[in-house]
Amino acid sequence: MRSRLVLFSTIMALLMACEQTDRPELRYIGDIIEPDGSVTPHEIRPFELVDQLGRKITNEDLKGNIHLVDFFFTSCPSICPKVTKQMLRLYDHVEEMDDVLLISHTIDPKRDSVAVLKLYADNLSIDHTRWLFLTGDKDEIMDLANEDYFVAAMESPDAPGGFDHSGKILLLDKDARIRGFCEGTDPESVDQMMLLIDELGKTYE
């Protein structure tokens, strides 16, 4: 009887362990753990950019909203349309949720003016108050991408369209701290992200 119980518990433990690996977990990404064990939270630096309607958008404006962040450029002939397609899926997914914003930064502000971003957004038939397309100073956007959002982005004459960048989509909480990310080129990775968004949303209920 006893050995049966042990076997049963072992199998249960294994099953639960399996389930756990399938479930994405919310974590704090980028925090620095000091030698004394104290934690310095990773924060997004203050920024000031402009959206597709010409509105000034700062880091403070995003706080109070869960936000999904990516980097792209409109003339991108490589992965961008694929990632934007997944951002559209996420846009549909969060439609019923309050306080969720999508934030797409152009890494090619020279060509992607406010007017171009407005046309791009119009063509996706999205709500301009829920999905912001940001442009501004190129160095500021590149620094945000590389140092704050951990999305590698750089100008590269050899890359298709002149820029090299990753297709990551990040999940930030209402305090603008990074809580998860996914590969925007991979629909399955985005499926996992949806679970994470739901979980994060529940923490504010």
Partner 1 sequence: MNKAVTCFVLILCLVLGCKTEKYQQGRIIYETSCLNCHMSDGSGLGEMYPKLKGSRYLAEDIELLPCLIRQGAQSRQLETVYMPGHPEITTASMTNLINYMSDMWGDGRVVRLAEVTALMESCSK
Which residues of the shown chain bind partner 1 in the complex (CB under 8 A)? 73-75, 77-82, 84-85, 88, 111-112, 116, 119-120, 123-125, 160
Q: Which two tokens stand for residue 62?
A: 């995003």
Pick the closer one to partner 1 by CB: 79 or 195: 79
How many other CB atoms are there within 10 angstroms of residue 107's CB atom?
24
Minimum separation from the CB atom of position 156 to partner 1 (A):
16
CB of 106 to partner 1, least distance (A): 10
For the bound state, the minimum distance from the C-beta of residue 160 to partner 1, rounded and expressed in Å, comes to 7
Q: Least distance to partner 1 from the beta carbon of 81, Å? A: 5
- Residue 134's nearest CA partner among 118, 150, 123, 149 is 118
Task: Between 38 and 125, name the residue whose CB sits nearer to partner 1.
Answer: 125
Nearest Cα to Cα of residue 183 among 86, 73, 44, 67 = 86
Nearest to partner 1 of 112, 148 (CB atom): 112
For partner 1, the closer of residues 59 and 75 by Cβ is: 75
Which helix H or strand E contains 155, and what residues bound it?
Answer: strand 153-155
Handedness of CA 68, 74, 79, 81 (dihedral sign): positive
